[in-house]
Amino acid sequence: MAFEFHLPDIGEGVVEGEIVGWKVKVGDTVKLDQPIVEIMTDKATVEIPSPRAGKIAKINYTDGQVCPVGAVLLVIDEGGNGKTVAAPVASEAPQVQIASHLPPPPPVAVRSGGAIEVIDATPRTGGRVLATPATRRLARQLGVDLHGVSPTGKRGRVTSEDVRGAVGRPAAAPQVARAQHAPISIAPGGDEERIPLRGLRKKISENMARANATVAAFTYVEEVDMTELVAVRERAKARAAERNVKLTYLPFIVKAVVSGLKKWPALNASLDESTQEIVRKKYYHIGIAAQGPQGLAVSVVRDADKRSIFDLAREIDRLGEAVRTGTATRDDLSGSTFTISSLGKLGGVMATPIVNLPEVAIVGVHKIEERPAVRNGQIVARWLMNLSISIDHRLADGWDGAMFLQDVKSLLEDPTTMFMEMV
């Protein structure tokens, strides 16, 4: 009996997935729940197990191709009477495991009741259009290109009625301008290796290009004297160790950043492009951007304003381990309101990190090192660090960013005031 396995709904708002790599081939015998394929979505890379035991009879999508949710991904021969059965309903679909993660996609923040919902509401030429799987199937049946359909649905969604109305009339102009240059072609020039641009690297490329093209970036840099905080952390390390807590500088920086965001709310915000509203958020989910084993990673410390230094340290350590081992969940990797980019000891002197859309700003944390400084007319050794902030100048002024970073600087330089600021 042939079993058709349709790609299940693997996350809210996910309508398709890119094949990262097959773990089986046609003719292979598989067991129930055996990992068979890794698929990249807008949210994460997921590992899909086999829903049946049997022999792989057909694979419909190859590495690098995009499979829509609901399409037949593969066919498994279970033996028996030769009949074909479809995949189970969504509630019976096999559980998928998040194997790694992506940088936050470039969505648009919109309000849904009293909460903030994140969706991709901007159709892109040659890219994904916001539409349900049923609408996509209808468009394929009627031969309609969704990129040329003017959406009338909520938040820019193409509806089935839009598709039917587009039959027999010229396609509408795309809503986003086409690229103004021809694709760059690289001629062979010697000993080379060619690696397909797909999967996580392709997502990072698309997201960074969109952010760079959209954000009116402004960067401000400050030098921070961390000497007092270095001493505080050194004294606290023993107590942290007693609680099995790995205490780095990041929890202190997160606390200082949250305090600054409360004073400068324009930086803890997003632009709702569909309504042209600036959404200022009164919750503080801090993204920690760092290099993971499969590329740039942004894990999210939720409700950072309500956590102690030790609690922040535990959560940052947990998230870092989840990223390294590929066990991070969707909640671990999405929903940040402001991002801190840190390379730890390799932080360098200064950087201009790219704003993590749809956020307004991102802070770059650089290495702490002992350098000469002038204090009270004397040259003394101090532990110094640079902080940089990149700001979307469309939504916040340079003054906001500079004053925010000054507040963060003052808290880090005098940790006693930081503790006074804590809720």
Are 401 and 361 a contacting pair, CB within 8 Å?
yes
Measured distance CA(308)–CA(248) in Å, rounded:
14
**309-to-282, 320, 321, 333 alpha-carbon distances in Å:** 20, 16, 18, 21
Measured distance CA(49)–CA(33) in Å, rounded:
5
Smallest CA-to-CA distance from 156 within 140, 142, 172, 143 is with 172
Smallest CA-to-CA distance from 174 within 154, 153, 156 is with 156
Neighbours of 247 (CB within 10 A): 23
Residue in the block written with tokens 């849904």: 112
**Between vectors from CA 12 to CA 9 and to CA 13, what angle results, nearest 5°?**
95
Bin 376: left if φ > 0, else alpha if -120 < ψ < 50, else beta.
Answer: left
Neighbours of 57 (CB within 10 A): 16
Helix axes 227-242, 309-325, angle to 10 degrees: 80
Active site residue 6: no
Residues forming beta bridges with residue 220, ordered by sequence position: 389
Measured distance CA(235)–CA(104) in Å, rounded:
36
Q: Can you say whether the dihedral through the CA atoms of 32, 35, 39, 40 is positive or negative?
A: positive
Active site residue 393: yes
Are 256 and 385 a contacting pair, CB within 8 Å?
no
Q: Can you say whether the dihedral through the CA atoms of 285, 215, 352, 225 is positive or negative?
A: negative
Among the listed residues 28, 63, 393, 414, the single catalytic one is 393
* 198 token code pair: 């797909």
Q: How many residues does the chain have?
A: 423
Smallest CA-to-CA distance from 354 within 253, 164, 150, 216 is with 216
* 46 token code pair: 């997921």
Among the listed residues 397, 400, 407, 414, the single catalytic one is 397
User: What's the N-to-C CA distance of the chain in angstroms?
Assistant: 62
Instruction: Kindly list the catalytic residues.
Output: 393, 397
